[in-house]
Amino acid sequence: MTARTGLGDDVVALLLDAPSLTHPDCVVFLVGRSAGRPDVVHVTEGWTSAETHAAFFATAAAQALVAKLQPLLDGESAYTDEVPVGGKAAF
């Protein structure tokens, strides 16, 4: 997603406080940024199933997050499907 100019920090802050992080069916939730374009923010999510992901995004908490994010974004976010084949995330 691309934040409006200068609002990348705000988008990242909202995402790092997202209700997905504590949801038991969310097994991966990574937030990253473009090194050359700090207002471009990447989110990688992994859920136990497409159904649990859809059910979560129908909740009031998820809709509230989306409502807070929308005014900070420049245009529509791009979504892609991904099937993990391996790797690691450590902080």
Q: What is the mean pLDDT of residues 5-23?
A: 94
Task: Tell me the whole-structure pTM to 2 decimals.
Answer: 0.87
Provide the domain limits for residue 16. Answer: 8-72
C-alpha span between 49 and 36 (Å, rounded): 33
- Residue 84 scores a pLDDT above 80: no
On whether residue 85 sits in a domain, the answer given is no
pLDDT tens profile 27-38: 999 999 999 999
We report the CATH number of the domain holding residue 26 as 3.30.70.100
pLDDT band at 80 (very low <50, low <70, confident <90, very high): confident
Q: Show the DSSP H helices in the chain as ranges.
A: 8-15, 50-57, 60-69
* Range 74-86 average pLDDT: 83
Among residues 50, 54, 65, the alpha carbon closest in space to that of 19 is found at 65
Number of domains present in the structure of the chain:
1
pLDDT higher at 82 or 12: 12
Q: Do 33 and 25 meet the contact criterion of CB atoms below 8 Å apart? A: no
User: Which candidate, 1, 78, 61, 2, places its Cα nearest to that of 26?
Assistant: 61
